[in-house]
Amino acid sequence: MSATVLSAKPLLKERYEQLAVQVQKLVQKPILSVIVLGDEPASRFYVQNVEKQGTKTGIIVQVHRLPIETTQTDLLQLIKRMNLDPGVNGIMLQKPFPSHIDEDEIVMAIEPSKDVDGFHPINLGNIMLEKDGLVPCTPAAVLEMMDFYGIHPHGKHVVIIGRSNIVGKPLANLLLQKKEIGNATVTVCHSQTRNMTEITRQADILIVAIGKPEFVTGDMLKYGSIVLDVGINEVLDHEGKPHYVGDVDYNSCVEIASAITPVPGGVGSVTTYRLLRNTFQAKESQEKTK
């Protein structure tokens, strides 16, 4: 057996088209403000992609590229202005931030209804309470994948490897919700888990977000399980050239799993779509509460 490859490509084609149709109906287009400090190449590449996809979808992406030495006070003032500006629907912080910036204070300063990253505690709390709100892009991308490929976690055992604030924990809470893509029995494993393989072998659906290249190998899977790889790690091949691998050892897992996401071109590719989708959703709910 070789697993079905759950590529992001057909999902993105369909979902971007749907989003573009919804955006087209709006007189005022949604506006996403992206704040970038400094000019790191990887970050530049990501932001360029957001701009490109925004343009295709009809969402206006305004990039605020600030000098790396921008102070905490100046950054907070910019965010306050954006919070008050009705023309800004979403505020996204492009990481990493330089070390003199207190990220936590910056995230807390963003008006929760414009927090398209979904990192504000009120948006995370709303996930626990099953209330509407802005869901962080990566967990939302995992749910999009499940929805698009008809993967129903209801009553199944979903094992998540990784307990980060931006992926593992919100994802666990989302999959516990009483929703169609929800109702799963959820286990969260992490660096301190003693019997990792014993647990991952029970997973009907295994979601890996531990940030370690090719951490999950085929012998850790139950035969026929579904593997969703959230990782993206730059490694060097035997010629010293950089390339990207996930947190899953694709070659050994593809023989055991019934379905698997590739890296690149898997879950990670869906996050930009979710960022733009969140911007659209933010605008909609801002208008309702006007």
Residue 135 gets which letter from DSSP?
P
What phi and psi values does residue 176 have, to the nearest 5 degrees? -85, -15
**What is residue 236's three-state secondary structure?**
strand
Is residue 16 classed exposed, middle or buried when 0-12, 13-18 and 19+ CB atoms within 10 A define those classes? middle
Q: Which is nearer to a copy of itself, 226 or 245 (CB)?
A: 226
Helix (H) or strand (E) run with residue 127 in it: helix 121-128
Measured distance CA(217)–CA(79) in Å, rounded: 43
Amino acid at 202: Q
Please report how close the Cβ of residue 133 comes to a copy of itself at its closest, in angstroms: 8
User: Are 220 and 196 contacting, i.e. CB atoms less than 8 angstroms apart?
Assistant: yes
Please identify, using beta-carbon distances, which residue of 89 and 173 lies nearer to a copy of itself. 173
CB of 95 to a copy of itself, least distance (A): 16
Contact residues toward a copy of itself (CB under 8 A) are 104, 120-126, 128-131, 133, 154-157, 163, 165, 169-170, 172-173, 176, 183-190, 192-195, 199
Cβ proximity to a copy of itself: between 49 and 191 the closer is 191
Backbone angles phi, psi at 77, to 5 degrees: -65, -40
The smaller minimum CB distance to a copy of itself, of residues 123 and 138, is found at 123
CB of residue 272 to a copy of itself, shortest distance in Å: 24
Q: Shortest approach of a copy of itself to residue 129 CB, angstroms?
A: 5
Give φ, ψ of 164 to 5 degrees. -70, 160
* Structure tokens, 60: 């206006």
CB of 116 to a copy of itself, least distance (A): 16
Q: Which is nearer to a copy of itself, 87 or 125 (CB)?
A: 125
